[in-house]
């Protein structure tokens, strides 16, 4: 593995998800997000904590915009972060705010997602610690996580880990998706990374 001394650090130190965004998991996440099934956060959060490999000083989440929060009544990523914080025994704190400008990401292409994320987040006014675990429901292109990590790094965080409930993969979904030696992968429950 080569390392560039002059290159900026990668936006994420590690990214993990216990599930693929398909079948019953997709339905569960949609119920959590759109139908208010908050109890789903406990089950998903337990699975997420089981695959976490990042040592964090604090947990934060990808926040909803004020408009989306008003529509749903709660923030599903925050609900997941609270479960993760209990498992890790670290504080859960709001380090990020979302601007109300970019709209829904669901049907956008990767290029459109990256463009929409430019300036989508700002600091919540708290100084984050050196190592922050960022929590979200689904990892698609990584644009949202990268935008959040950028703000956290600008505010002083040295390393940002990402933990999501599921990973969306375009095309045919493999029965098992892991990459030995990779920092970005998906681990199924019971298959604890070594």
Question: pLDDT tens, 55-92?
Answer: 999 999 999 999 888 888 899 999 999 999 999 999 99
Tell whether 181 is covered by a domain. Answer: no
Is 186 part of a structural domain of the chain? no
The answer to whether residue 93 is domain-embedded is yes
Domain that holds residue 134: 14-173
The answer as to whether 2 is a domain residue is: no
Q: Confirm whether 182 is domain-assigned.
A: no
Give the pair of three-digit tokens for residue 194. Answer: 């070594």
Query: pLDDT band at residue 188, thresholds of 50, 70 and 90?
Result: very low
90 located within any domain: yes
116 lies in some domain: yes
Number of compact structural domains in the chain = 1
Distance CA 92, CA 59 (A): 5
**185 vs 11, higher pLDDT:** 11
Picking from 185, 53, 51, the residue whose alpha carbon sits closest to that of residue 131 is 53
- Residue 185 maps to a domain: no
Q: Give the rounded distance of the alpha carbon of 62 from its chain centre.
A: 7
What are the tens digits of pLDDT across the range 134-170?
999 999 888 899 999 999 999 999 999 999 999 998 7
Task: Supply the CATH number for residue 64's domain.
Answer: 3.40.50
């Amino acid at each position: 593995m080569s390392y560039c001394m002059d290159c900026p650090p990668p936006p994420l130190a590690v990214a993990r998800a216990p599930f693929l965004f398909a079948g019953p998991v997709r339905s569960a996440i949609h119920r959590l997000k759109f139908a208010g099934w908050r109890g789903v956060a406990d089950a998903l959060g337990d699975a997420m904590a089981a695959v976490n490999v990042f040592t964090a000083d604090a947990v934060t989440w990808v926040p909803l915009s004020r408009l989306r929060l008003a529509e749903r009544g709660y923030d599903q990523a925050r609900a997941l972060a609270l479960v993760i914080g209990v498992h890790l025994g670290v504080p859960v704190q709001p380090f990020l705010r979302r601007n109300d400008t970019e709209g829904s990401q669901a049907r956008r292409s990767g290029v459109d997602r990256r463009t929409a994320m430019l300036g989508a987040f700002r600091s919540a006014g708290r100084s984050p610690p050196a190592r922050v675990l960022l929590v979200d429901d689904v990892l698609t292109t990584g644009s949202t996580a990268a935008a959040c990590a950028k703000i956290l790094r600008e505010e002083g965080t040295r390393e940002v880990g990402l933990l999501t409930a599921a990973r969306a993969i375009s095309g045919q979904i493999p029965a098992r998706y892991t990459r030995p030696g990779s920092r970005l992968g998906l681990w199924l429950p019971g298959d604890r990374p070594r």
